Amino acid sequence: MTRLATCPWQTRPTHRRNRELMVDVAVPITYGYCALNDDCAHCAGTGYKPNILIQQGRGFETVPCPYCEPARYRKVVERILKRQGRTP
């Protein structure tokens, strides 16, 4: 699989200029089917995609964009899973 030319998240209102995505604070990442390639624009090879569906009135936090910052995104996914008591 080849790397996309541009970030697929850049048109989303939750994508900030500093290469981070705003995600729901209660469920920041969700497990979903993915190709599990390190070049995957949606999960950076982790299988966990950012949950960009933020409900009005709920808090949010930011995670690195899996396309723009894949290494940082993988570290954040590991930290979130450890905090939730799950293994990556």
**In sequence order, what DSSP letters do the residues of 1-42 get, joined into one string?**
-PPPSS-TTTTSTTB-TTSEEEEESSS-EEE------TT-TT
In a domain, 54, yes or no: yes
Rama region for 57: left / alpha / beta (φ>0; ψ in -120 to 50; rest): left
In a domain, 88, yes or no: no
Residue carrying the six token digits 């090879």: 45
In a domain, 5, yes or no: no
In a domain, 37, yes or no: yes
* Count of C-beta atoms within a 10 Å radius of residue 29: 22
The closest of 28, 29, 46 to 37, measured between CA atoms, is 46
Domain extent for 59: 20-83
Q: Residue 12 in contact with residue 52, Cβ under 8 Å?
A: yes
Give pLDDT tens digits along the chain (88 positions): 567 788 888 888 888 878 899 999 888 998 887 767 777 888 888 889 999 888 888 888 899 999 999 999 999 999 998 988 877 6
In a domain, 50, yes or no: yes
In a domain, 32, yes or no: yes
**What's the structural domain count of the chain?**
1
> Which pTM does this prediction carry?
0.83
